[in-house]
Structure 1
């Protein structure tokens, strides 16, 4: 598995976890972010950054962003994002 593919797979997996809560649950904590150390599927030691940001005005859609990178090479990392749409019930 290539370096970039490994980081992309790790970012995809983390993005799925980051989106397990719905808009209603996340809206109470947005904007928010954290980072932690972990491992990619190929075993590389990396940093995961997770952010929940308003995608426009506060109270609207939430952009979930995940960046995965080696500690010494942030600029070579991979960033993926997904938008959780606000739904009116």
Structure 2
């Protein structure tokens, strides 16, 4: 069960990071959440966050959380995006 949520969180993180960095900077700080379905069909909540990193300057932290409220389970994935040179 948790493996499925971990995999989904990583997939959503990859999608959240697919925007060009210039576009990500325009929406930071920002977050959204939406209802979705895990590959198994169970209902989940997905939350994405774009936050300014403390260090290095100009970097953005991208976080994704996938929650299954019924099972009280969840998974998170995050990465640091550096400004291109």
* Distance across 2 between alignment mates of 1:8 and 1:32: 22
Aligned partner of 1:85 in structure 2 is 82
Structure 2-normalised TM-score?
Answer: 0.88
Contact 1:23/1:62, CA 8 A, preserved across alignment: no
Return the match for 2:3 from 2, 5, 12: 5
Cα deviation, 1:21-80, whole Å, max 9, x if unaligned, reads 1221110110000000001112121000000001116x611111000001342xx31010
Give the count of matched residue pairs: 84
Deviation at 1:13, TM superposition (A): 1.2
SS at match of 2:27: coil
Runs of 4+ residues over 2 Å off in structure 1: none
* Distance across 2 between alignment mates of 1:32 and 1:71: 23
Contact 1:67/1:80, CA 8 A, preserved across alignment: yes
Return the match for 2:59 from 25, 45, 61: 61
SS at match of 1:28: helix
Unaligned runs of 5+ in 2: none
* Distance across 1 between alignment mates of 2:40 and 2:32: 23
RMSD: 1.7
* Distance across 1 between alignment mates of 2:60 and 2:77: 14
